[in-house]
């Protein structure tokens, strides 16, 4: 167990959901006769769920500060419809409509942020009102009719990395390059982390770092091969590339900037954060405005994939985003949650949904199963936070240690 902890950084509990994701993939791949781990299915999964994962990036920050946003689906639909109508009726070029959509999303977020930060109305009530307002505006603007968007938007919702260079590998070179860069970045990060640990006189055995590097590089290589070897004209999806970029940006913001520290400080203890000089209203305003901005991005990705904006777009999206954040380890009470964890939680929901569809399970049963998974994940989180209750990993470690002691006593 000690060696396993050294390989995985000493905190196995943070990998619980990642292991659950891998287990789900393996189970569904077996039960569907290999349909899960195919190029076309994974490409479709990423393109089809990218908008929910984008929403989860913003939602985790809202939940960390102790609030919740129920309006994101309606805001995404409102932005998508605004973009489509501005291009069709106002004569804006496609890129003008795109910029307009992002600005509209930021303005909607500023509206929500004003009521929360300045007027003190809880985010739940503010965004509940926003959900009704913007859903009504979508229906009113569209007259309950879908509005098409230009072809250029399809690249954002359903495009693939382009092909270039020699084709002797039989795979997409852009995706191969992306995989190589990801592997190189991880190797560099791991070696840098090890140097940092050694500089602080912490234990960091070389074999553990090399084992971790080998495992992750193998996984990256396998995923790269899957995405790069699809049918001609396909590769890693553009929505996935946008998602990866956003994950990197927001991971840095939340983990390595003053703003990120303020977000977690407000979520952990609002009064203490205020006494420490943190502007709580400014933090609230930022997370709400950022949430609606990302909802605008999600709406643009969706209309690009659907090739039109519809009056029912965005329905129930907020629930999927909230579920992804809680399954990814965020605390119900706030103060805890990460962007990477939310991505894992979102992928768990996406794989679960996709796998059940491949198995032919109906939409009604799928909703029941997803609800049970959400409840189980939150119950697991709450249980592990009760004083004196060891985590599942802790129980395994304790049992392993007890068995070793008993074996040693028997030998003596």
Q: Where does the pLDDT of residue 392 fall: very low under 50, low under 70, confident under 90, or very high at 90 and above?
A: very low
Q: Domain ranges in the chain?
A: 1-159+272-409
2 has pLDDT over 60: no
Helix, strand, coil in percent for the chain, rounding step 5: 75, 0, 25
Whose CA is closest to 345, among 364, 363, 366, 329?
A: 329
What SS3 state is found at 309? Answer: strand
Average pLDDT for the chain: 87
166 has pLDDT over 50: yes
User: Kind and range of the H or E element at 132?
Assistant: helix 123-142
User: How much is the pLDDT for 3?
Assistant: 58
**Which stretch, 283-297, 316-330, 383-397, has highest mean pLDDT?**
283-297
- Least confidently predicted of 10-24, 227-241, 286-300, 391-405: 391-405
User: Rounded distance, CA 349 to CA 372, Å?
Assistant: 11
- To 10 degrees, the CA torsion angle through 354, 33, 343, 324? 40
Q: Where does the pLDDT of residue 232 fall: very low under 50, low under 70, confident under 90, or very high at 90 and above?
A: confident
| Contacts within 8 Å (CB) and 24+ apart, 387-392 | 391/13, 391/16, 392/13, 392/16
216 has pLDDT over 80: yes
User: How much is the pLDDT for 127?
Assistant: 96
Per-residue pLDDT of 145-156, as tens digits, reads 999 999 999 999
Cβ contact 285:116 at 8 Å: yes
Find the mean pLDDT for residues 18-35.
90
User: How much is the pLDDT for 400?
Assistant: 41
- Least confidently predicted of 86-90, 114-118, 380-384: 380-384
Find the mean pLDDT for residues 105-112.
96
Cβ contact 83:309 at 8 Å: yes
CATH number for the region 1-159+272-409 comes to: 1.10.3470
Q: What is the DSSP letter of 116?
A: I
160: β partners: 237
Q: Where does the pLDDT of residue 385 fall: very low under 50, low under 70, confident under 90, or very high at 90 and above?
A: low
Find the mean pLDDT for residues 323-329.
89
Find the mean pLDDT for residues 185-212.
87
Write b or e for each residue in 7-45: b if 16 or more Cβ atoms lie within 10 A of its Cβ, otherwise e. Answer: bbeeebebebbbebbeebbeebbeebeeebebbebbbeb
- Least confidently predicted of 182-191, 304-313, 400-409: 400-409
Cβ contact 237:47 at 8 Å: yes
Cβ contact 270:66 at 8 Å: yes
- Least confidently predicted of 49-58, 62-71, 166-175, 224-233: 166-175
User: Rounded distance, CA 255 to CA 341, Å?
Assistant: 13
Cβ contact 83:100 at 8 Å: yes
Q: What is the DSSP letter of 115?
A: I
| Model pTM score | 0.88
User: Rounded distance, CA 77 to CA 46, Å?
Assistant: 20
Q: Where does the pLDDT of residue 109 fall: very low under 50, low under 70, confident under 90, or very high at 90 and above?
A: very high
Q: What is the DSSP letter of 166?
A: -
Find the mean pLDDT for residues 51-63.
96
């Amino acid at each position: 167990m000690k060696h396993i902890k050294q390989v995985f950084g000493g905190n196995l509990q943070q990998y619980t959901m990642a292991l659950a994701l891998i287990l789900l993939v393996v189970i569904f791949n077996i039960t569907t006769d290999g349909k899960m781990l195919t190029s076309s299915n994974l490409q479709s999964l990423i393109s089809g769920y990218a908008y929910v994962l984008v929403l989860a990036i913003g939602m985790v920050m809202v939940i960390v500060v102790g609030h919740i946003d129920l309006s994101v689906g309606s805001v995404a639909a409102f932005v998508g419809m605004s973009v489509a109508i501005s291009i069709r009726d106002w004569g804006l070029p496609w890129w003008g409509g795109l910029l307009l959509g992002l600005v509209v999303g930021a303005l909607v977020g500023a509206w929500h942020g004003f009521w929360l930060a300045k007027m003190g109305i809880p985010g739940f009530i503010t965004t509940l009102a926003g959900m009704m307002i913007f859903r009504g505006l979508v229906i009113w603007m569209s007259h309950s009719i879908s509005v098409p968007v230009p072809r250029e938007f399809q690249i954002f919702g359903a495009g693939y990395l382009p092909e270039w260079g020699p084709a002797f590998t039989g795979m997409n070179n852009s995706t191969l390059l992306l995989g190589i860069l990801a592997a190189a970045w991880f190797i560099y990060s791991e070696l840098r982390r090890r140097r940092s640990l050694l500089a602080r006189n912490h234990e960091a055995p070389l074999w553990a770092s090399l084992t971790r590097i080998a495992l992750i590089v193998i996984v990256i290589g396998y995923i790269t091969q899957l995405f790069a070897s699809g049918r001609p004209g396909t590769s890693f999806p553009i929505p996935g590339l946008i998602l990866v970029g956003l994950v990197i940006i927001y991971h840095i913001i939340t983990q390595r900037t003053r703003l990120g520290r303020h977000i977690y400080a407000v979520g952990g203890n609002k009064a203490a954060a205020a006494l420490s000089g943190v502007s709580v209203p400014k933090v609230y305003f930022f997370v709400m405005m950022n949430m609606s901005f990302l909802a605008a991005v999600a709406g643009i990705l969706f209309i690009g994939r659907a090739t039109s904006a519809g009056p029912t777009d965005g329905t129930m999206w907020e629930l999927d985003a909230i579920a992804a954040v809680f399954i990814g380890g965020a605390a119900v009470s706030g103060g805890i949650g990460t962007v990477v964890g939310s991505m894992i939680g979102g992928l768990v929901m996406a794989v679960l949904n996709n796998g059940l569809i491949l198995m032919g399970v109906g939409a009604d049963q799928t909703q029941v199963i997803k609800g049970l998974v959400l409840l189980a994940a939150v119950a697991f989180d709450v249980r592990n936070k009760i004083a004196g209750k060891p985590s599942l990993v802790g129980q395994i470690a304790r049992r392993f240690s007890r068995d070793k002691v008993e074996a040693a006593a028997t030998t003596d």
